Chains A and B, each alone.
Chain A
Amino acid sequence: MIISPRHTQKIAFSLLSLCTVLVIAPVFVIIALIVIRGGPGISWEFLTAMPRMGMKAGGIFPAIVGTLYLVSVTMLFAIPFGVLAAVYLVEYARDHALKRFVEVAIVNLAGVPSIVFGLFGLGLFVVFLKMGTSILAGALTLAIMTLPVIITSTKEALSTVPRSFREVSLSLGATGWQTIRHAVLPNALPGILTGIVLGLSRAAGETAPVLFTVAAFYLPRLPHSFFDQVMVLPYHLYVLSTQVPNVKPEVQYGTALVLVGMVLILNLFAVIIRARFRRRKQW
């Protein structure tokens, strides 16, 4: 039997749509599952109380605070370095070979497994620089891991700023940095912010790099300084789901929901910034 090309196409397209459903449907199933099963676990107490009874009850307050603290310090390091690195690549690098070399390095940095970042952070920051297991060590590790995300999106944002803005500014006698600071960066800001938010969300969700650099198994108090350990949400979820027996599902799912919620809200922010910027763009 000969099948006509039309029929082949029909069969092929159904298979392709099946692939897509198989990829995308689980995403929504996962999120729905977490929301439905985690929702009942969320309460004011859950969000603001210390864990009790070996983490089987009480809240996850220190993990939330720890994550926020850690991510803020991470961004403190990652944003300036990342943005300036992108500025270098887009605005300054004229030596093609060197530029390419840096770009390859960034691609590779982005590809380094997160657990290897953990090892690196342990080796360099915790042990060699004697920071100990601390927010500082964890944040520096996460900052290096987030750099490629920030650099890539900042680069993209910078290259959407018309060349004419730079020429106008320079033609008025502004210096190179003044031009970047006043004519380029403000107009790339939405794109840069998008990258920062995505980097933030990545940092907030990572477990492997913080395992040996900052994460505390159980520490029912808030951090006092940069040199304290903290509990963080992703590691806490790992602990609840594999290390502590007989944890109630709503505590596990609730923790997952808080983490996913945090990350998805950040991503939503990124989407909104991007969309608003596209609408407002005047050139």
Chain B
Amino acid sequence: MLRIFKTRETITKIQQRQISEFIIEKLIFLSGLASVLFVILIFVFLLKEGVSLFKTVSLKDFLIGKFWYPISDPPRFGVLPLLMGSLWVTLGAVLIAVPLGLGCAIFIGQIVPRSLRDYFKAGVELLAAIPSVVLGFVGLVTLVPLVRHLFHLRSGLTVLSGSLMLAFMAMPTIVSIIEDAFNAVPKSYREGSFALGATQWQTIYRVLIPAAAPGILAGVMLGMGRVIGETMAVMMITGNAAILPKSFFDPARTMTATIAAEMGEAVRGSSHYFALFAIGIVLFLITFLVNLVADFVLHRKK
């Protein structure tokens, strides 16, 4: 065979390749670590701006202050009504979303014939694709008047409307993670149960759900994380009153909505501006914790 490769030439080429190889490997490594860097950067920048608030407002006043009057004189920066707003809306959403999501996941993953399964899944994925501002808009023109009429309220802009919409928006996350959890249950469990003469429902109820419990929990938590962080839809349909809600029929203002609604008017470098970042810290910490625990639950299982 003809010697096409001249050894010396090959060696130079290999040396050249080694240099570019070195550079690209470093680049890949840096990109890999970039996500870590970004998470840290996010936290650092929230802290950097948020902590300035505590030069003028004590941490205690911020955390348990009952009044959020950012532009009164003197301003009050109590995050409690906003925190409670977020929690009420989240609680409502979770109460609605968990049974519904669990039922939907069981139905799609376990009961629907295999040939139809993908269509149902596509339906749920379609929901994930709709931008939250669109859902907020649709909620505003359909759900809000509906809630008002059904419960004879003065306004439909309530915690309930927000919870309903957010439960709906959390569905793709909850359904897909619970479905995965069911799929991860070993086949032998199911077969063992059938072999004992249990019906399909008994098997689901007594075997599958307990076995998949950690995954279900993780799904619920991640769904909750999604709900707490949701901004646009919730801002458009919960009424945005910074008061401590007493029922699901009261309006509420969440932390996310507060940031979104007020940052535009807050003067850079003012206490108000810093306070909005401080809310960001609270939000970040809550979702960080939720995600960390959910991830831990998901991975411990393996």
Contacts and interface: CB of A to CB of B under 8 A. Distances in A.
Direct contact of A and B (CB under 8 A): yes
Interface stretch (A68-76, A121-129, A160-168, A223-231): A121-129
Contacts of A235: 133
Contact of A113 (B27, B29, B106, B230): B230
Contacts of B17: 175, 178
A169 interface: no
Contact of B103 (A15, A28, A205): A15
Given A17-B107, A22-B100, A176-B25, A93 B32 contact: yes
A184 interface: no
Interface string A98-134: 0001101111111111111111101110011000000
Contacts of B74: none
Contacts of A267: 125-126, 129
Interface string A168-181: 00000001111000
A81 B45 contact: no
B281 to A, nearest CB: 9
A176 B232 contact: no
Interface string B125-153: 11101111111111011100000000000
A26 interface: yes
Interface stretch (B53-61, B63-71, B181-189, B256-264): B256-264
Given A123-B46, A123-B49, A177-B20, A19 B100 contact: yes
Interface in B69-113: 99-104, 106-108, 111
Contacts of A6: 199
Contacts of B25: 92, 176-177
A242 B35 contact: no
B268 interface: yes
A9 interface: yes
B86 to A, nearest CB: 10
Interface string B29-60: 10111111011011001101100000000000
A148 B225 CA distance: 16
Given A23-B124, A115-B259, A177-B21, A207 B133 contact: yes
Contacts of B42: 109, 112, 116-117, 120
B220 interface: no
Contacts of B20: 177
Interface string A18-48: 1110111011101101100000000000000
Contact of A208 (B101, B231, B295): B231
A201 interface: yes
Contact of B133 (A9, A34, A117, A237): A237
A3 B214 CA distance: 31
Interface residues of A, number: 88
A80 B134 CA distance: 30
Contact of B140 (A88, A111, A242, A263): A242
Residue from A26, A84, A87, A119 whose CB has the most chain B CB atoms within 10 Å = A119
Residue from A20, A82, A259 whose CB has the most chain B CB atoms within 10 Å = A20
Contacts of A92: 25, 28-29, 32
B209 to A, nearest CB: 12
B295 A104 contact: yes
B62 interface: no
B111 A109 contact: no
Given A112-B229, A260-B131, A118 B202 contact: no
B231 A113 contact: yes
Nearest to B22: A177
A12 B201 contact: yes
B199 A9 contact: yes
A43 B48 CA distance: 48
B288 interface: yes
B180 to A, nearest CB: 13
A18 B225 CA distance: 26
B100 to A, nearest CB: 5
Contacts of B124: 23-24, 27
Interface in B217-255: 222, 225-226, 228-232, 236
Contact of A120 (B46, B104, B200): B46
Interface of B: 17-18, 20-21, 24-25, 27-29, 31-36, 38-39, 41-42, 45-46, 48-49, 99-104, 106-108, 111, 120, 122-127, 129-138, 140-142, 168, 171, 175, 198-202, 205, 222, 225-226, 228-232, 236, 256, 259-260, 263-264, 268, 276-277, 280, 283-284, 287-288, 290-292, 295
12 contacts: A5-B201, A9-B202, A12-B201, A16-B103, A19-B102, A30-B138, A31-B126, A89-B32, A116-B287, A117-B42, A207-B231, A208-B260
A-B pairs, 9 with minimum CB distance: A113-B229, A205-B131, A88-B32, A19-B103, A84-B31, A9-B201, A111-B291, A123-B45, A16-B107
Interface of A: 5-6, 8-9, 12-13, 15-20, 22-24, 26-28, 30-31, 33-34, 80-82, 84-85, 87-89, 91-93, 101-102, 104-120, 122-124, 127-128, 144, 147-148, 151, 175-178, 201, 204-208, 211-212, 234-235, 237-238, 241-242, 249, 252, 256, 259-260, 263-264, 267, 271
